[in-house]
A and B are shown apart, each in its own frame.
Chain A
């Protein structure tokens, strides 16, 4: 009997533990948006995103890099990003020679340029290698961003960190889950800001974005929802109505990709 009852209790407790901490993430919305605006500007100037974390956070670093390098959403451009935890030879080599705290700082000093961004991930905020990596990045003039949890730890308190986003939980598994949502939102908002900045650019051929028509405004114009932000765009070239999904390029709807009520829409 013991097996089912305590495992079942554990599952229920585990799900409950996630609710409050997840909800408190909404309070970080302004800081997340501010960080994304800065990141979009640096990507626009040719910067790259350098990500690092130890242990499980190393898998998050890889996830962030692949998110930016190979976007899952069609039409989003690839943005340069590298994960420093991926190279086991270098990480173990530097750790063995100079100590584990130098694993990322060493690589930052060789790869980074001042226009770049450094994102360090440490669920308890006390990983020495992440802290040293962010300090090295700060010294070189990079924009420094940290994902931590608990009380934020030494990483969140470091003057070398420009923006620390702290997941409000002491359970490292819950912290990780909040981090996944945060970096998905970071990626999405960086593209929102990046696309806005690119609106004046005539070479943004791969920036066509899907949008839903909210209201027709006459004169071939419509109010649309572009991934959470509302914009006025021209629908003069297409036959689109309220609820339709259109592909928008440089404020011009260039195609209707889904009619209102079509199967599969949310």
Chain B
């Protein structure tokens, strides 16, 4: 197989070695790239498995405590509001639909704050993107509800604003972040966020994948906690 790498090692690099696509006859490069792609895929699979193991060690006990708090709120009639930006907005939607319309288990009231495009664009256009979740919480939320926000960086201003609003209204606050937690892990937020789950990774992709596991496990544990705490016949 005449790969670009070999072309370099035997001293024949130069234009053809550098730009093999200019030379249709040189062949081989695609196979080289495919082999690299296969190796890269296996590496990513191993990375996320290892990250999930770390997350379990760091957060298993804390997820149980969070699920117990959330079950208590749901049992008392609380609702959950979820939010995030970009890919995390799709996770916020997944969290809401997982709780609201599960295939099995007890359906619970959950609403994602990114789904109403009219509200999101109106608030962004008229006031600013930083208030896009906080203003919705101000209108919709009651004491006893739950606010759950997801961010990979932990640095989104509209999440910080939403959590402050939620705290001032007596909501239970749950945050998922990556890297080292960003702004959400800073001292000013200590009294604002009740349960913060930081995924210790610097890859946005691996953070999102591990966050998916965290909120699925949180859903499952909340269902268990609700079953345990709900008296028979209610």
Residues A11 and B13 in contact, CB atoms below 8 Å apart: no
Residues A36 and B19 in contact, CB atoms below 8 Å apart: no
Q: Quick check: is A237 within 8 A (CB to CB) of the other chain?
A: no
The proximity string for A residues 238-259 relative to B, scoring 1 for CB distances below 8 Å and 0 otherwise, is: 0000000000001100000000
Of B128-136, B137-145, B188-196, B222-230, the stretch lying at the interface with chain A is: B222-230
Question: CB within 8 Å of B: which of A49-67?
Answer: 55-56, 58-60, 62-63, 66-67
User: How far apart are the CA atoms of A181 and B207 in the complex, in Å?
Assistant: 10
Closest CB in chain B relative to A28 CB, distance in Å: 8
Residues B39 and A37 in contact, CB atoms below 8 Å apart: no
Q: Which of B36, B60, B202, B212 contacts A229 (CB 8 A)?
A: B36
Residues B37 and A192 in contact, CB atoms below 8 Å apart: yes
Residues B224 and A6 in contact, CB atoms below 8 Å apart: yes
Residues A59 and B91 in contact, CB atoms below 8 Å apart: yes
Write out the residue numbers on chain B whose beta carbons fall within 8 Å of the beta carbon of A8: 60-61, 64
Closest CB in chain A relative to B33 CB, distance in Å: 5
Interface centre among B61, B64, B101 (most CB of A within 10 A): B64
Question: CB within 8 Å of A: which of B25-70?
Answer: 29-30, 32-34, 36-46, 48-49, 52-53, 56, 60-61, 63-64, 67-68
Question: CB within 8 Å of A: which of B181-200?
Answer: none
Write out the residue numbers on chain A whose beta carbons fall within 8 Å of the beta carbon of B46: 26
Q: Quick check: is A25 within 8 A (CB to CB) of the other chain?
A: yes
Q: Quick check: is B232 within 8 A (CB to CB) of the other chain?
A: no
Kindly list 17 other residue pairs between chains A and B, CB separation below 8 angstroms, not including A62-B93, A228-B40. A6-B228, A7-B68, A10-B221, A11-B64, A11-B220, A15-B213, A19-B52, A22-B45, A33-B38, A66-B87, A72-B205, A180-B208, A189-B37, A189-B41, A192-B40, A232-B5, A250-B19
Chain A positions within 8 Å of B, measured between CB atoms, are 2-4, 6-8, 10-12, 14-15, 18-19, 22-23, 25-26, 28-30, 32-34, 36-37, 55-56, 58-60, 62-63, 66-67, 70, 72-73, 172-174, 176-177, 180-181, 184-185, 188-189, 192-193, 196-197, 199-200, 217, 221, 223, 227-232, 234, 250-251, 264, 266
